[in-house]
Homo-oligomer: A and B are copies of this chain.
Amino acid sequence: MPTAVAGKGLEGVVAANSGICWIDGEAGVLSYRGIDIHDLAENSTFEETTYLLWNGILPNQLELREFTSQLALARELDQRIIDLMRSFPPSASPMEVLRTTVSALSFYDADEKDNSHDANVRKAYNLTAQIAMIVAVYDRLRKGKEIVPPDRSLSHAANFLWMLNGEKPSQTATRTLDIALVLHADHELNASTFAARVIAATLSDIHSAITGAIGALKGPLHGGANEGVMRLLLNIDKEGADPVEYVKGMLAARQKISGFGHRVYKTEDPRATHLRRMSEQLGRDSGKPKWFEMSRAIELYINEEKKLNANVDFYSASTYATLGIDIDLYTPIFAVSRIAGWAAHVIEQLDDNRLIRPRAEYCGPIYPSPYIPVEERP
């Protein structure tokens, strides 16, 4: 019999032990393996942060060099995966394509049937490299452009921008994306990571877990929110409306404003601090401060009016827009980063596994209800 009734949506329920990510929602603290996200955002790279998430400590110079080179070597997509993506209709959204293609990767992964710790680490390298490539390659394909081959001399962030745009990215663009990838790399038992752990805990394979996580990230209450923010900014711009008046109207119509509030943070999301700063800086440097200014006006109003803080999704929208990235790539880019955390959690789950199988509180017809033969039913 069930022993504990949890808050709706498992709010406040501890569902696993984890040594990966520590959050203090009251104080606005996020840390990976004990290291504050502000230190990582200022000093680290996606490669180093991924090493930290997977190994529990920061790499020394040799370890970092090896790790970075392993990850770059894994930039390889089987030709049959590229052909598969070519066969998708151009109407397919990048998140549907990512979900489907990651699922298909298992066909060609030599370790598919090996669910050991070491095999999953190898698959994690592959998936981290491949997810970034799939997002970039599909964007080229749907636009009828040539695929850009990976450049293994570039960092993960720079190679992604290179494969996406076909030109070497500026230092500013690379560093901005790299910081965004560090900020998004893990967030404890968020919905997609939790979905990945539930799937992995049946002792299914890591491709199943990551495919499920991508499906969860797609939702507008999770990763999909950054696209929602940008659609709002675009609508305001199109109508030439005052951002505050526009948002006031939405609130009056009881519409939800994407990018505000968070289940865990009761104060500012520490990731928003960095994304706000980058959004402002990029706007100024590029001479296109519009998206930042619009965002800032909305943020101040919502802070005041609803006592809600901007979350990670709010300023990632204007940041990516100013970098010239298409709106429906914002959530895929979230996945390009979060694969680091997903893989860490799947491997941690399997290292000390138990099936995740809660109970429901029954609220249906009384038992036993009779089975009435069909000809006697009203």
**Which chain A residues have a beta carbon within 8 Å of chain B's beta carbons?**
1-22, 25-26, 29, 31, 33-36, 39-40, 43-44, 48, 56-61, 64, 80, 83-84, 87-89, 91-92, 96, 99-100, 103-104, 106-108, 112, 188-192, 194-195, 198-205, 207-209, 211-212, 214-224, 263-264, 354-375, 377-378
Contact = CB atoms under 8 A, between A and B. Distances in A.
Nearest to A4: B13
Contacts of A43: 371, 373
- Copies of this chain, complex-wide, total 2
A1 B103 CA distance: 35
A359 B22 contact: no
Given A13-B4, A39-B371, A87-B84, A219 B191 contact: no
Contacts of A264: 357, 359
Given A191-B198, A218-B202, A89 B60 contact: no
Given A194-B356, A212-B199, A6 B14 contact: yes
Contacts of A15: 6, 10, 13, 358-360
**6 A-B pairs with the lowest CB-CB distances in the bound complex, closest first:** A202-B219, A208-B215, A19-B364, A212-B212, A34-B365, A34-B369
Contacts of A60: 374, 377-378
Contact of A12 (B3, B107, B374): B3
Nearest to A187: B357
Contacts of A373: 43
A56 to B, nearest CB: 7
